[in-house]
Amino acid sequence: MSANGSGIGASVKRKEDNRFLTGRGRYTDDINLPGQLYGHILRSPVAHANIGGIDTSAAEAAPGVHAVFTGKDMEGVGGIPTGWLIHSKDGSPMVEPAHPALALGKVRYVGDCVAIVVAESREQAKEAANLVEVDYQELPAVASIEAAEAEGAAAVFDEASNNVCYDWEVGDRAATDAAFDEATHVVSIDVVNNRLIPNAIEPRAAIANYDPATGDYTLYTTSQNPHLVRLLLGAFVLGLPEHKLRIVAPDVGGGFGSKIPHYAEEAILTWTAGQLGRPVKWTCERIDAFKSDTHGRDHISTARLALDADGTFLGLHVSTKANLGAYLSTFATCVPTYLYGILFAGPYTTPAVYCEVKSFFTNTVPVDALRGAGRPEATYLLERLVEKAAVELGMDRVEIRRKNFIREFPYQTPVALQYDLGDYDATLDLALEASDWAGFEARRAESAARGKCRGIGISTFIEACGIAPSAVVGSLGARAGLYESGSVRVHPTGSVSVFTGTHSHGQGHETTFAQIVSDMLGVDFDAVDVVHGDSAKIPFGMGTYGSRSLAVGGTAIYLAVEKVIEKGKKIAAHLLEAAVEDIEFENGSFTVAGTDRSKSIGEVALTAYVPHNYPEGLEPGLEETAFYDPLNFTFPAGTHIAEVEVDPETGEVDVVAVTGADDVGRVINPMIVAGQLHGGLAHGIGQALLEECLYQEDGQLQTGSYLDYTMPRAADLPSFSINHNTTLCTHNPLGVKGVGEVGSIGVPPAVINAVIDALRPLGVNDMAMPATSQRVWQAIQQAQG
């Protein structure tokens, strides 16, 4: 591979931008089908209640209304499935209650789907929904982990004793206990990982259509993984075979994990379209998005770190309680387990690690993946604890990290993962230099002169992306494979269509993947188009989450291109009257080694489709598909440093500088990679300082609009310093790792460590997320007595 103007390593401007910048993107709500009706989802206004009865007669008689359906109408339809079976410590399977698409007999959270009202217009459907009479017989609600585990707590599900879904563990408990027995120092910490609401700016939407002539269903939906929706909706909910169910995820306005799950609304819409024989459209209003898009995080943890006299880590013990919400969403059960507990070695050589996680049902919105999904929770806990250890032992907080870094690879951690390669010193050094760590005390003094408290915080971390391989995740309870497909179709005139099972909802796949193919085939960047998001066009796919698209999906494309080249060599050898082994391919030309005799990729493609002079026995056409199942996770790593200035009078925290030094593997498009890092950092700073989902005790959502839930705005954030040190992933041919979640994983502990560093002179030694001005001010007041 050689970098050219638009090849691998170039900051090519994005193919997708022209349509987005001119208002010609095609998002789900922009699509209208002839004869479409509008569905309005009636949601539960209470957190927990028996449904005594539902009277739909007034709504059915309202102007423009075609139908009202409730849970009883959908009773024969399958429930919404979950994708990962977790086993508890004692070997028993998790409690897996039914999740009817429309509530049946009971509602379990504010926002639970109760009925769909279908009418000629959006307004008519919404107004008629007000006429549906539901007899809610309220029950006590459990709206938090503390409430769920309390003595005598109400049961979200009768079958889940004490509201526990599973009680899981990873690591060697006995070895970890032994490490603590030998420790000179033990440092403990209690942390809460605040519950977040994802808030992609495009609200979810869907349009379902049923064609009675063919029996085909089509669902347009705001999904990160259309094939996964097809699998779950078709095989588990509606009982439709794949060839009769097409899922289209067109332009999607951000996902961040919240558009991974197969949602009840997708099933309700598709089933309703089948009942009525008309297209049915639904667009979620923001107020409903707050109470129906899956939420993220929500952990309570306590952890202990065992150290010897000189600060070497000997053992780590983590106990976590996780909130899963009212039903098990698609990836809900694996986020606090296999995307969390196995991260606790971090970048450190801690020889004994043990993590136990007890997960609870509550009367809240289902919790699922959110940018980072488990890895931010693990990183936050570990980096807060390491920082605290440095302070308690009187060690330099950089040196305690450096002292414990892993330096020999491959490295088998005590919690299942095997890291292939990394250079944690390099990213640490880079970050220290880029942030002028050494010059910090002068800046602290300058701030102090202005009456401000300045602090600096650091986080050194690893993450795990592209979860795989399928056989391993299958043995751990995954109910799907985690491979990816890629197809490369070289057209007769030499232009190329690339088909990927991953989905781009902001990540720029149409550009990055085209760069790879253009570079490998030596065809013009503009002659390569990437197709994604339509189960009728793409052979198969598992979609986009866990920063997997490039490492898994990109590799599938890479392997498909290699197959194209191999076939092209056979055609070229025939045309050039040479042996296949003598054909070399470079820069778009098949050449007989050591000669100037060659055929271009365009000539070979034309021959493949007009095979008048063609190798005997070779199929015409030049199109190849590859499925790639990775050998391992990839392991991006890095150091994030945050610098804050706190106003002790008001408690306001100003993030004055954020430096990221990351190893994300080979960078295909530096411009896009920087953008991914920026977005992740903003999300992480949002978690650290601004964002928090709050429920009242009765299960009412307190932070149910942008007036109550603080999203990071432009003025809340600084510009970011982005730096790279690259080690190549050893087990995929591109050497790529993943970048979409790095910021939200690495930066929250750096920010909180900085806030504590700023306030330590005032006697503040702990700080919870989000460090709002109110919380900071109160901590200062308390410390000052």
Partner 1 sequence: MPSVTMTVNGMERSGTVEGRTLLVDFLREHLGLTGTHIGCDTSQCGACVVHVNGTSVKSCTCLAAQADGAEVTTIEGLANGTELHPMQEAFREHHGLQCGFCTPGMVMSAVDLASRNADPSEHEVREWLEGNLCRCTGYHNIVTAVRAGAKAMGGGS
Residue 547 phi/psi, 5-degree rounding, is 50, 40
Would you count residue 503 as binding partner 1 (CB under 8 A)? no
Cβ neighbours of residue 483 closer than 8 Å, sequence gap 6 or more: 468, 469, 470, 542, 552, 556, 627, 628, 629, 630
CB of 744 to partner 1, least distance (A): 10
- What is the CB-side half-sphere exposure of residue 497 using CA atoms within 13 A? 10
Q: Which two tokens stand for residue 84?
A: 């990962």
- 27: contact with partner 1 by CB under 8 A: yes
Backbone φ, ψ for residue 339 (5° rounding):
-110, 5
Closest distance of CB 774 from partner 1, Å: 20
Residue 775: CB minimum distance to partner 1, A: 22
Exposed, middle or buried by CB within 10 Å (0-12, 13-18, 19+), for 5?
exposed
Tell me: does residue 631 bind partner 1 (CB under 8 A).
no
Distance from first CA to last CA of the chain, Å, rounded?
A: 65
CB atoms within 10 A of CB 627: 16
Of 548, 666, 683, 775, the one binding partner 1 (CB under 8 A) is 683
For the bound state, the minimum distance from the C-beta of residue 21 to partner 1, rounded and expressed in Å, comes to 4
Asked if 681 touches partner 1 (CB under 8 A), the answer is yes
Q: Amino acid letter at 365?
A: V
546 sits near partner 1 (criterion: CB under 8 A): no
Closer to partner 1 by CB, 199 or 459: give it.
Answer: 199
**Sequence-ordered alpha helix ranges (H) in 342-481:** 375-393, 397-404, 424-434, 440-449, 470-475
Closer CB to partner 1, 503 or 599, in the complex: 503
- How far apart (Å, rounded) are the C-alpha atoms in residues 606 and 694? 62
526 binds partner 1 (CB under 8 A): no
Stretch that binds partner 1, among 126-134, 234-242, 285-293, 630-638 (CB under 8 A): 285-293
- Identity of the amino acid at 689: L
Secondary structure, 3-state, 283-298:
ECCHHHHHCCCCEECC
Instruction: Select from 2, 3, 17, 53 the one that contacts partner 1 (CB under 8 A).
Output: 17
Instruction: Quote the least distance from Cβ 712 to partner 1, whole Å.
Output: 8
The CA distance from 505 to 503, in Å, is 6
Binding segment for partner 1 among 10-18, 240-248, 575-583, 608-616 (CB under 8 A)?
10-18
CB of 15 to partner 1, least distance (A): 11
**Amino acid letter at 771?**
A
Neighbouring-strand partners of residue 45: none
Residues 201-240 close enough to bind partner 1 by CB under 8 A: 201-203
Q: Decide if residue 678 touches partner 1 (CB under 8 A).
A: yes
- Between 507 and 753, CB nearer to partner 1: 507
Give the interface segment with partner 1, choosing from 70-78, 213-221, 418-426, 700-708 (CB under 8 A). 700-708
Smallest distance from partner 1 to CB 37, Å: 15
Are 699 and 110 in contact by the 8 Å Cβ rule? The answer is yes
- Work out which of 2, 3, 19, 579 binds partner 1, going by CB under 8 A: 19
707 touching partner 1, by CB under 8 A: yes
Question: What distance in Å separates the CA atoms of residue 346 and residue 172, rounded to the nearest whole number?
Answer: 16
By CB under 8 A, which span of 85-93, 647-655, 710-718, 752-760 interacts with partner 1?
A: 710-718
* Residue 556 vs 682, nearer CB to partner 1: 682
HSE toward the beta carbon, residue 517, CA cutoff 13 A = 36
Pairing relation of β-strands 653-663 and 720-724? parallel
Residue 191 beta carbon to partner 1: minimum distance, rounded to whole angstroms: 24
| Interface with partner 1, residue 34, by CB under 8 A | no
Binding mask 115-134 for partner 1 (x = CB under 8 A): --------x-----------
Parallel/antiparallel/unpaired status of strands 528-531 and 583-586: unpaired
The CB-of-692 to partner 1 minimum distance in angstroms stands at 16
Binding residue (CB under 8 A) for partner 1 from 25, 45, 274, 733: 25
Instruction: Compute the distance between CA of residue 675 and CA of residue 679 in angstroms, rounded to an integer.
Output: 6
Q: Which stretch binds partner 1 (CB under 8 A): 19-27, 43-51, 460-468, 622-630?
A: 19-27
Task: Give yes or no for residue 14 binding partner 1 (CB under 8 A).
Answer: yes
Binding flag, residue 613, partner 1 (CB under 8 A): no
- Would you say 310 or 708 has its CB closer to partner 1? 708
How many residues bind partner 1 (CB under 8 A)? The answer is: 57
In the bound state with partner 1, the residue whose beta carbon lies nearer, of 292 and 487, is: 292
* Residue 561 CB contacts under 8 Å (≥ 6 apart), including other chains: 488, 516, 517, 520, 521, 624
- State the nearest-atom distance from the C-beta of 718 to partner 1, in Å: 9
493 binds partner 1 (CB under 8 A): no
As measured in angstroms, the least distance from the Cβ of 637 to partner 1 is 20
For residues 709-748, b (16+ Cβ closer than 10 Å) or e, as one string? bbebeeebbeebebbbbbbbbbbbebbbbbbbbbbbbbbb
Q: Does 256 bind partner 1 (CB under 8 A)?
A: yes
By beta-carbon proximity to partner 1, the closer residue of 81 and 198 is 198
Is beta strand 280-283 parallel, antiparallel or unpaired with respect to 37-43?
parallel
Q: Which of 39, 79, 83, 253 binds partner 1 (CB under 8 A)?
A: 253
Site pattern 656..675 for partner 1 (x: CB under 8 A)? ---------------xx-xx
Produce one character per residue of 137-168: b if its CB has 16 or more CB atoms within 10 Å, e if not: eebebbbbbebbbeeebebbbeebeebbbbbb
With H, G, I as helix, E, B as strand and everything else as coil, classify residue 590. Answer: strand
Which of 508, 648, 738, 749 forms a contact with partner 1 (CB under 8 A)? 508
Q: Which of 536, 713, 761, 784 binds partner 1 (CB under 8 A)?
A: 713
Closer Cβ to partner 1, 14 or 106, answer by number: 14
Taking residue 610's Cβ as centre, other Cβ atoms within 10 Å add up to 11
> How far is the C-alpha of 70 from the C-alpha of 75, rounded, in Å?
9
Looking at the DSSP assignment, which residues form a beta bridge with residue 138?
A: 49
- Using CB under 8 A as the binding rule, whether residue 679 contacts partner 1 is answered as yes
Residue 505 in contact with partner 1, rule: CB under 8 A: yes
One of 682, 751, 754, 779 touching partner 1 (CB under 8 A): 682
Cβ 634 vs Cβ 727: under 8 Å: no
539 forms part of the interface with partner 1 (CB under 8 A): no
* Residues lying near partner 1 in the complex (CB under 8 A): 13-14, 16-27, 29-30, 123, 199-203, 251-254, 256, 283, 285-287, 505-508, 671-672, 674-675, 678-683, 705-707, 711-715, 717, 719-720, 743
